[in-house]
Structure 1
Amino acid sequence: MFKPAFAAVLVASCCSAAANTTEHTNLEHISIYANRTATPQQDVLASVTVLERDDIVARQANDLPALLAQLPGINLSRDGGRGQNSSVYIRGGNTGHTLVIIDGVRSGSATLGYKTLSMLPLELIERIEVVRGPRAAWYGADALSGVIAITTRKAQGTELNANVGSYGQLGADVSVSEQVGDLAVRATAGYSQADGFNVRKDLDPDRDGYDQRFAKLAADYQTSFGLLRAQFDINSGFYQFDTGWGTEDQADTLNRTYLLGWEHQLGQWQHQAQLSRILDDDTVYGPDSSSPFVTERDEFNYQTSTAITNNLNWLGGVNWYSESVGRSSVNYVEDSRINRALFTGLNFKQDNVQLDGSVRRDLTTQYAGNNTWQLAAGYWFTDAWQLRISRGAAFKAPTFNDLYYPGEGSSNPDLAPERTLSDEVAISYRAANGSVQLAWFENDVDNLIQLDANYMPQNIEQAKISGIELAIQADVAGIEQSFAYSWTDTENTLTGLRLARRPEHTINWRAGHSWNKFSAFVTADYQSNTYQGQYAVNEYLGGFTLWGIGTSYTVSSALTLRAKVDNLFDKNYYTNDRYTTAGTNFGLSVSYTPQ
Structure 2
Amino acid sequence: MFKPSFGAMLVATCIVSAYAEDIEHISIYANRSASEQQHVLASITVLEREDIVARHATDLPALLAQLPGINLSRDGGRGQSSGVYIRGGNTGHTLVLIDGVRTGSATLGYKSLAMLPLELIERIEVIRGPRAAWYGSDALAGVIAISTRRAQAVELNANIGSFGQAGTDISLSHSAEQLTLRSTAGVSRSDGFNVREDLDPDSDGYEQKFFKLAADYQTALGQLTAQADVNSGLYQFDTAWGSEDQADTLSRAYLLGWQQQFGQWLHQAQVSRNLDRETTFGPDSRSPFNTRRDEFNYQTTTDLSTKLRLLAGINWYQEQVSKAAPDYEQDSRINRALFAGAEYQQDALQLEAVLRRDLIDQYGGNNTWQLAAGYQFSPYWLVRASRGTAFKAPSFNELYFPGFANPELKPQQSMSDELALRYKHAGLNLQFAWFDREVTNLIQGVEQAENVLLASIRGIEFSLSQQWHQFHSQLAYTWLHTQNRSTGLKLERRPEHTLNWRGSYDSDTWSVFVTSDYQSETYQGAFAPVANLAGFTLWGLGGNYQISSAFVLRVKLDNVFDKRYQSSAGYATAGANFGISINFTPQ
Short-chain TM bin:
over 0.9
Kept in 1, the 8 Å contact 2:127–2:143? The answer is: yes
Kept in 2, the 8 Å contact 1:27–1:40? The answer is: no
Q: Which residue of 2 aligns with 1:587?
A: 579
Q: Does 1:421 align with 2:415?
A: yes
Q: Which residue of 1 aligns with 2:484?
A: 492
Q: Following TM superposition, by how much is the alpha carbon of 1:288 offset from its aligned partner in structure 2, in angstroms? A: 1.4
Which residue identity is paired with 1:15? C
C-alpha distance in 1, partners of 2:374/2:569? Answer: 42
- Of 155, 159, 175 in structure 2, the residue corresponding to residue 159 of structure 1 is 155
Q: Does 1:535 align with 2:531?
A: no
5 Å-filtered alignment, 1:116-135, equals: 116-135=112-131
Gaps of 5+ in 2: none
Deviation string for 1:348-395 (max 9, x for gaps)?
001110000001000000110000000000001101001000000000
* Moved >6 Å (runs of 4+): none
C-alpha distance in 2, partners of 1:246/1:220? Answer: 47
How many residues in Structure 1 have an aligned counterpart in Structure 2?
Answer: 587
C-alpha distance in 2, partners of 1:494/1:458? Answer: 12
Distance 1:321 1:172, change over 3 A: same
Which residue identity is paired with 1:12? V
Q: Which residue of 1 aligns with 2:303?
A: 307
Gaps of 5+ in 1: none
Q: Does 1:573 align with 2:565?
A: yes
Q: Which residue of 1 aligns with 2:13?
A: 14
- Pairwise CA RMSD of aligned residues? 1.2
Kept in 2, the 8 Å contact 1:512–1:520? The answer is: yes
Q: Which residue of 2 aligns with 1:438?
A: 432
C-alpha distance in 1, partners of 2:103/2:379? Answer: 38
Which residue identity is paired with 1:164? I
Q: Which residue of 2 aligns with 1:462?
A: 454
C-alpha distance in 1, partners of 2:359/2:520? Answer: 41
Q: Following TM superposition, by how much is the alpha carbon of 1:8 offset from its aligned partner in structure 2, in angstroms? A: 3.3
C-alpha distance in 1, partners of 2:217/2:404? Answer: 51
The DSSP-based 3-state class of the residue aligned with 1:204 is: coil
Deviation string for 1:111-151 (max 9, x for gaps)?
00000000000000000000000000000000000000000
Which residue identity is paired with 2:3? K
The DSSP-based 3-state class of the residue aligned with 1:167 is: helix
Q: Following TM superposition, by how much is the alpha carbon of 1:9 offset from its aligned partner in structure 2, in angstroms? A: 3.5
Q: Following TM superposition, by how much is the alpha carbon of 1:267 offset from its aligned partner in structure 2, in angstroms? A: 1.6
Q: Following TM superposition, by how much is the alpha carbon of 1:520 offset from its aligned partner in structure 2, in angstroms? A: 0.5
Q: Following TM superposition, by how much is the alpha carbon of 1:11 offset from its aligned partner in structure 2, in angstroms? A: 3.0
Which residue identity is paired with 1:154? R
Q: Following TM superposition, by how much is the alpha carbon of 1:477 offset from its aligned partner in structure 2, in angstroms? A: 5.4
Q: Which residue of 1 aligns with 2:168?
A: 172
The DSSP-based 3-state class of the residue aligned with 2:45 is: strand
5 Å-filtered alignment, 1:63-462, equals: 63-405=59-401, 407=402, 409-452=403-446, 455-462=447-454
The DSSP-based 3-state class of the residue aligned with 2:163 is: coil
Q: Following TM superposition, by how much is the alpha carbon of 1:2 offset from its aligned partner in structure 2, in angstroms? A: 6.1
The two structures have a TM-score, normalised by structure 2, of 0.99
The DSSP-based 3-state class of the residue aligned with 2:466 is: strand
Q: What is the percent sequence identity of the aligned residues?
A: 61
The DSSP-based 3-state class of the residue aligned with 2:486 is: coil
C-alpha distance in 1, partners of 2:8/2:466? Answer: 14
C-alpha distance in 2, partners of 1:590/1:267? Answer: 47
The DSSP-based 3-state class of the residue aligned with 2:312 is: strand
Kept in 2, the 8 Å contact 1:424–1:439? The answer is: yes
Which residue identity is paired with 1:11? L
Kept in 2, the 8 Å contact 1:26–1:42? The answer is: no
Kept in 2, the 8 Å contact 1:214–1:236? The answer is: yes
Q: Which residue of 2 aligns with 1:517?
A: 509
Q: Following TM superposition, by how much is the alpha carbon of 1:27 offset from its aligned partner in structure 2, in angstroms? A: 3.9
Kept in 2, the 8 Å contact 1:14–1:476? The answer is: no
C-alpha distance in 1, partners of 2:2/2:481? Answer: 20
Which residue identity is paired with 2:316? W
Kept in 2, the 8 Å contact 1:15–1:436? The answer is: no
Which residue identity is paired with 2:15? S
Q: Following TM superposition, by how much is the alpha carbon of 1:13 offset from its aligned partner in structure 2, in angstroms? A: 3.7
Kept in 2, the 8 Å contact 1:133–1:145? The answer is: yes
Which residue identity is paired with 2:377? F
The DSSP-based 3-state class of the residue aligned with 1:57 is: helix
Kept in 2, the 8 Å contact 1:209–1:239? The answer is: yes
Which residue identity is paired with 1:399? S
